[in-house]
Chain A
């Protein structure tokens, strides 16, 4: 017996589900055909070509199906078809159109789809550019797509085993037991969805996930190319495409990661752009390993050395992307991460482990079987060469990333530690510091090498010239770093050292690019990327080392990268300051004044708190600078408490960053009392906390937007003009209505900016000329209206953002050279 449900739109879901299955099958067919094409390539060219045609067309079908799934799901979200669980869970009617796309990434399946979509785009490019490596590379791409496809299949084997989760699941199926779904007309009860997580309602969240996932997707191509090279035993033709793809990946994944940092900086309130959070680490580590691989690939290209390292790094980079997915999406990290996505159960856990195991098995098997014939060079390399130090640098980057991933994975192997120590291990008490203490040394070495390596040549370097140039650079860098160190009071030894190597890297890159490469744009890629990287390190150092809170009374420096002593904790504990309405409070060099919030009760979901910062000259007592900040918060959305977003004042050399930690929930403070005033003459005045209102007399024409005129009503309003200390604010007209001679209705009027509520309570006619109006006034006491604010200063944070842009530019210049070089050889 089946119920006929009313008001459901089943077609988009059925189409979507059809394309989910089609895309999966097409991926399988494509993989198999590419595999056959690859294995018959040497023996039967005709058969191979036929297989390849089949493989290509199935991949096209696969790609188009993915697009179709996207369209179907977007249609469901855009049209608010809440019968679908995905739309219900991740969107709502009031969601601004620009955030509809963000609903995709909020859910598990949507982000898998995004990942698949990019693989499709990249796969199609590889299909037509990889030439001799196409069949093998695309076998791997197709296989990966098939794996990802299983994630959104939503197949059931019996009742217990579920493979994947379809995004087209109906709400009534996921919540079968809820009684409302027994009613055929249940749709008429479901009027709105759950809505999008508020911290995702930010423009960075519209573009950050697509860029990040393109970065993740890009790691697949070097991976697939390496597998193809090992498989085909062709150790030369992969170099150029792998170089190009790695550069593209370095640029895009790097951008994606830092966009995430920028998003965290602008819309999360943990006070910064980077917190060594597992989710952040999980995307950083693949990038670091990829960059290491990119450098060893360059070594291999120039000298024939470091092949094994290149294979290992480029394979690992993609495997680490999968491992990151495992870490962040299965809930293994729920104890340690602020924003690890909540686990969607054991199904995904084993599913992802299985995929990683298969990919790892393929990689290892190939590597072991080919081990003896891998290209190596028997002679010893000279120490004073570019390849030697590039290799060392890559190895150091790799060690750094190993450290990050090992510490991040602590919850994964915690049971193992417990077996040995008998105690349940927890993350370090001061997480940031435990990473920084190790990573600072990595940064010191990398800063030094990234500058130095430019001055060595492949195979043979003229030692005297190299050292002379390096010496010059070092002197300039030393002068620069000592100056900065003095001005910025950088006292801890390891950070002073890091400062020097950052400066060294920057000076070395600029000097090399201008003096030695003569600023020939085509060749400036590596130098630009290294310059950007040096700037990133410098920006991180300056903005974090002297990041300080100004929202506590004892202004001064706090070393956030320093030690975890009791003093630091005490300092940490005073970082919030309370601001009462209208009361200036000292904050660093400023006086901060809370001027009220922008909200209209019951109308705005988001409240903007107006805080004015004034810098006052200590001698003249004049305000020399004044600006407003509007940190905002969602007060109590769906009973979730306060969700706040920071607001930041940007200067060229520093940022002032503020966010609300606590604010008054006005809907809960409605108990404040009304005070009644009896007025009989126009011109009578009622004094308010921060102003006054003047009675104008009773009026019959009503000018109150809260009042809707009805047939038979007899409305009267008491007219007021309201002034604050600056002057006239607005008119205020509370209304008293006699509805058809029977009941009375009192319509309040309000002045939101002053938080005044007025009600016309009663009208007493004493004589023909004397009419008294009873006005009840309610206004929140300024002592009852306050915010708890935290304000931080990030010095020189723009060096970091500029560094990211320069570095990415460097990747692209190099990529341009690789692509340009290819065109040239093609046309010759």
Chain B
């Protein structure tokens, strides 16, 4: 039985079947129960994703518990990390996410931390701008023109001091920038379609944990 479940053909059948029930009702007006199966599959995926997070919890707990028990490098930090995780889980499960202790931890640690991690990028972007935007050739010149134009357009003071920068910057964003974004969107879409076809034909089974590939793949 386990050999059958582990087999590539069985897993590929599941993928193809679920994909069929998602694709078919979208493109063809289908009678029941096809739309119901489609809704059920989407809901099931949401449930599966929710449980997948619990697997990461186990992995993290195991890794940090090993580090703490073996007094590995930085073990006090691991203890704090895992302690806070489990404290929040216990409080949240018992008292709900609106509990005072839960909201205390959220407001004091998680929300400021999340915002700050991304805000730090401003500093790195600025030092990168000072170091990397060197006018060595035509490409770097247009790179800098694009950056400076949009920076001036974005800044209210820039639009006030240089009135023409608004239309020029908008043109650059809505035409040049949009053309590039459109190209990226088309490329990503084609890549996504190729990936989907490869998955449905069994050539990309590494995505579902079958790491060994046949030679002809």
Do A and B come from the same complex?
A: no
Which residue numbers of B lie inside 8 Å of A, CB to CB? none
